[in-house]
Each structure stands twice: as C-alpha cells, then as structure tokens.
Amino acid sequence: EMQLLESGGGLVQPGGSLRVSCAASGFKFTDYAMSWVRQAPGKGLEWVSGLSGGGGATNYADSVKGRFTISKDTSNDTLYLEMKSLRDEDTAIYFCARASCSSVFCYRFALWGRGTLVTVSS
Amino acid sequence: DIQMTQSPSSLSASVGQRVTIACRASQGIASFLNWYQQKPGEAPKLLIFEAIDLQTGVPTRFSGRGSGTDFTLTISSLQPEDSATYYCQQSNKTPPTFGQGTKLEI
C-alpha cells in the first residue's frame, strides 16, 4: 500500500528551528516529485516547497524562501523540511504530498500524508 | 502568482441534490486544474485532475468542466459522505495555488 507518514512536528519558539520528516512506502521514491503543503488552523491550503524525483531541483514559496530547505534521503525513502527563523505565521499542519510525475514542476497531488502540526509560539 | 477564486464559500444542500462549485483563475491556466475534497481532520483527496479527468476510485457522481480561466465541479446526486470542504488548485505555473475552499454541508 502506498503511504506517506509525517513526523517531527511540535511547539517551537519564534526564531527557532525544526525539521519535519515524511516517510514514504509502497512506491519507488525516486520516480516522483514531492512537495510540502501547509494548512494554518481553520484556513486553506498553501504550497510550501517542492523537490524533483531525482532530488536535483527544488522550489519554494516566496513566504519561506531562504528560511526553509527541502531535501530527501533515498536510502530510507524519507522527505525532509528543515525550517529556520520560524514565525508565528508558520503555525500550520504540514502535509507531504506526492506529485504525479518526477519533474519539480509537477503539481498534481494524488497521495498525501495525514500531516504533522507545527506550532510557533512563545 | 495566479489567484484562484472559488464560489460560493459555503453552501448547504440535501441528499440527492445536484450542486456546482465554481473556480476562476486570475489568468489562463489551460486545463491544469485539480479539485480536492478535504474532510475535518483528514488530508486532502484528489477528485478531478486536468479539469475533467476523474481520479481512480472517485465516484462518477463527481465531474469537472472548464478550461482557460473558468472551471466547475459538479456533484450530480449528493450523498451524506460528500459533506466536506472542496478546493480547486492550479498546476500550470509555480507556485501552485489553491482556491480558498468551498464548505459543503449536507
């Protein structure tokens, strides 16, 4: 069964750092681009960052560029999002999502994890 | 960035009714339009991709239309389990952007 499982969320102070993870299973990890999409409490969906299937290309929303870094480890089929200089407005559920192809510009998301909650608060 | 605007923001309907949700893009996106369903506490679920194509496993009462800037999602005969929030999303340009959502109550 194809599955994505996020972990690593929690409470962090403004200005702090956190890394969230997404463990993939049931499909060939390198065949698909992956993205992080977030949802602030009671709000809509916001794409955050994407990574190509091969891992060589990345892109970011302007709101997180320079603060967040997306990466993957193909030895354990895990996607990461390293978040630094966190702000109150970064508080959200962070979902990882699998795209339908390997290009970093592929944005049809047919497989999602259940998400991990990141709360930025003092 | 391409802005996606959905209407209405919320609606209430009865079992068996037909409902349509509209989505408008701020610029032309060809047919690069996806629809998702999200229930409380769950991840979004892809329903329709490339404006008109039904994702595998999605009931045929869901259908999509449109191209360019104007799109619709129609549920032909509402079921109780269709109560959810629906989002459109453009996948034509970076960054991919979502509509604000339409909350459907049954």
Chain centroid, CA B72 distance in Å: 7
**Contact between B91 and A114 using a beta-carbon 8 Å cutoff:** no
**Contact between A114 and B101 using a beta-carbon 8 Å cutoff:** no
| Angle of CA points A97, A47, B34, to nearest 5° | 70
pLDDT per residue as tens digits for the range A32-88: 999 999 999 999 999 999 999 998 999 999 999 999 999 999 999 999 999 999 999
Q: What is the pLDDT of residue A73?
A: 95
Q: What is the pLDDT of residue B30?
A: 96
Copy the structure tokens of residue A65. 């560029």
pLDDT surpasses 90 at B39 = yes
Q: What is the pLDDT of residue B16?
A: 97
Among A46, A93, A103, A107, the residue to mutate for chain B (most B Cβ within 10 A):
A107
Q: Confidence class of residue A100 from pLDDT cuts 50, 70 and 90?
A: very high
A45 contacts in B (CB within 8 Å)? 36, 38, 44, 87, 89, 98, 101
pLDDT surpasses 90 at A4 = yes
- Strands B102-105 and B10-12 come out as parallel
Q: What is the pLDDT of residue A55?
A: 86
Spatial separation of the C-alpha atoms in residues A100 and B44, rounded to whole Å: 15
Spatial separation of the C-alpha atoms in residues B50 and B64, rounded to whole Å: 9
For residue B98, the chain A residue with the least C-alpha distance is: A45
Torsion of CA B69, B95, B99, A98, to 10 degrees: 110
B48 exposed, middle or buried (CB, 10 Å; 0-12, 13-18, 19+)?
Answer: buried
Is A32's Cβ below 8 Å from some Cβ in B?
A: no
Is A101's Cβ below 8 Å from some Cβ in B?
A: no
% chain A with pLDDT above 70? 100
**Whether the Cβ atoms of residue A4 and residue A96 lie closer than 8 Å to each other:** yes
Overall average pLDDT of the B50-61 stretch: 97
Non-local (6+) Cβ contacts of A23 within 8 A are A4, A5, A6, A7, A76, A77, A78
